[in-house]
Structure 1
Amino acid sequence: LARIGMLKNPQSRWFDRSNIYIVTRNGFVVANDEHSAYEGIIPTQIGDHIQYHIDSLEKINSWPIPSDPDNKIIIRELLFIYDSHVLNTIKHAITLFHQSADNIEIIVINVNQCTKEDIKQYIRIHPDTFFQLCLQLAYFKLHGHKPASTYETASTRRFYRGRTETLRSCTPEVVAWCRAMTNSNNQLTEIEKRKLFLIAANRHQQLMAEASENQGCDRHLFGLSMIAYITGKPFELINDPSWIKSGGGGNFILSTSCIGFTITVGGTSPMCLNGYGVFYRFGSDAITFVVTAYRNCSDTNVQAMADSIERTLIEIKTSFMKSNL
């Protein structure tokens, strides 16, 4: 279903529209959104509203009937006039679309053994923070104990015309915890590892609060880069290797976003060739997440990454459960 919405049949999609819905033959509904015009939470809320409305109709077993069932809607075929140049251009665009779409792997996972209620009961931190820390550890274990520069969406909607700021969730604190969790030679106790986890969690929540208050760095740096571009002046920072390594210029290895406590889940392609896209939502019955990666990159593996995330979520939740017994 995710592939249908994101990667299938460009001839029946209006990709210049902000929001389109696709209804499959067996009654499933998936959306394709290009949300430059508005924040990503908007199509999520629309999707939830549609589902809640359908659920309410099914509960009362009453679907709306047209006031005038005999009033037939007249459908008229639109005939387009085109020449061979237009037709060849369309064929070329379709070929390019499929080349790009076929290069993207996407997988959706429901983790029934770890829910928002579990996080609330056993871990007692914000579910988004819990997922982000587990995501860092999952990547760390899968990719040779290397940290990954990470983009996470922080909302700035409290400000006039505010959209988002970047929360850089790969912090020194979370790397220290990942190393403690993966180093078989260390002498740290479970209590000491737990302390490192909580230090990393507190740091994440602090950065989220700062980013939501427009106290992050990425939007300000973007503004400076635009001023430099408009005035024809050099923006030297983009030539610094640490800028790219830390994710600047669209080079975040992990491109992530918390969709929230919704029934709708979505995703998008990774920012860079050797990266992953990871989007997630929290339900009372499961955590659902979407992972994407590029097929032509030998450094990534979408199935292995999804499995690593799922195992890590369950592992960390279980460790907290045992300590609460």
Structure 2
Amino acid sequence: MTLRLLQHVGVDGARSVIAATETGAAFVIGVDSVRALAERAIAAGSDLAAAVAACGTGASVDIAAELAAGRLTSPIDHGDPAHLIMTGTGLTHLGSAEGRDKMHRAAADAATQTDSMRMFLEGVEGGKPAEGARGQQPEWFYKGDGSGLVAPGAALTMPDFAQDGGEEPELAGIYLIGPDGTPFRLGLCLANEFSDHVTERHNYLWLAHSKLRQASLGPELLVGTPPAHIEGMSRIHRDGEVLWEKPFLSGEANMSHSIANLEAHHFKYDLFRRPGDVHVHFFGTATLSFSDGVATREGDMFEIEAAPFTLPLRNTLTKAAPQPVAVKAL
């Protein structure tokens, strides 16, 4: 039976955790966050399913209705947003080099293999090493901290200087670092790893700038062994109609890197094994509306859905007002 965990905020502001399976959903007794539940599991030497069983469940709940009412938040967070770290890897999916290569080839000799294609092919060759081994390292980027994590249903806001606000439908691994520095994978979430593809297209060395944006997670944290094959659909709605839609694939069967290899290269750094920190690590995608020539605009609504997640991730695109920054000398 598939276990999914959700975080809920009531009309009175009280936080709670919901455990959902194929047979229904109910509030977990005695915990107010998924992080707290995970800390209990680590302390007990158990897993999240056992932690839910130990707590017990109470009143049943209609998670679709709660999402529609705006009472479901991101399925992971941290009391101090600086201790939630968002990062990601690119060129990890079979076919993911095509869209990236289209962006970068315009700035390169058409007869020369781009850095993106070389990195992708190296991943295909060495991204799934034997168990316990560390294979080819992937492209890696820093995305921000917990202050940039947007709740499902909330707006994704691009900064006033952004040249684009584009969706990236993918999976994100959710991790909590234990007291001894051990990374624990709590599960996977559906995600929109929102990026600025026009900025990236100008020069691939601007990838770091293009990724410093908000991101959103679907309301459900899928617990247990990650599915090897996930099929989903990504859409953009404009003025009440579907502007663009395209299926996407994820899971290891559709990736050039194993999840274990991506984890090994992320958590090999001491900085990312600081006890108590939460990590949201985006695993990449091969499907972008930008690659199909779509130019998003304010008011567009992104929609991402994929089984075995039962709820969609929807976010509307907005743009921030200018925020002039003056650096003062002391």
TM-score over 0.5 (shorter chain) = no
Q: What TM-score does the superposition give when structure 1 sets the normalisation length? A: 0.30
Say which structure is richer in helix. 1
Larger Rg: 1
Q: What TM-score does the superposition give when structure 2 sets the normalisation length? A: 0.30
